[in-house]
Amino acid sequence: ELKVEQNPLFLSMQEGKNYTIYCNYSTTSDRLYWYRQDPGKSLESLFVLLSNGAVKQEGRLMASLDTKARLSTLHITAAVHDLSATYFCAVEGGSQGNLIFGKGTKLSVKP
């Protein structure tokens, strides 16, 4: 059974600081997704990582994938309040290639 673990689950950080969210998964997969969810809202796709060594950047967020280590990271550079949200990673797996989601990391960026 494919398991996806994120850590930390809660992250409180100050504006201007850097931090990394980790996503580990239990079986071989080379497709990983990051989503953002604002309170009371739906999930917004951030990054699609499709191969080992893939790196994608959008603004202050950068995501990478190491399929050999079964690890993806979401790095936050110089955080701003607008980045406060819950971030989910999801790995493609399951019987139909469905997405298996982590529990999410709730990020709070404070002035």
Partner 1 sequence: ETGVTQTPRHLVMGMTNKKSLKCEQHLGHNAMYWYKQSAKKPLELMFVYSLEERVENNSVPSRFSPECPNSSHLFLHLHTLQPEDSALYLCASSHGTSGTMASYNEQFFGPGTRLTVL
Q: How far is the CB of 96 from partner 1 (least distance, A)?
A: 4
Which of 76, 87, 104, 109: binder of partner 1 (CB under 8 A)?
A: 104
59 contributes a contact to partner 1 by CB under 8 A = no
**Please, are residues 82 and 69 in contact by the beta-carbon 8 Å criterion?**
no
Q: What is the DSSP letter of 54?
A: -
Contact status: 28 vs partner 1 (CB under 8 A): no
The region of 20-28, 37-45, 57-65, 72-80 touching partner 1 under the rule CB under 8 A is 37-45
HSE, side-chain direction, 13 A CA sphere, residue 108: 6
Q: How far apart are CA 82 and CA 15, in angstroms?
A: 10
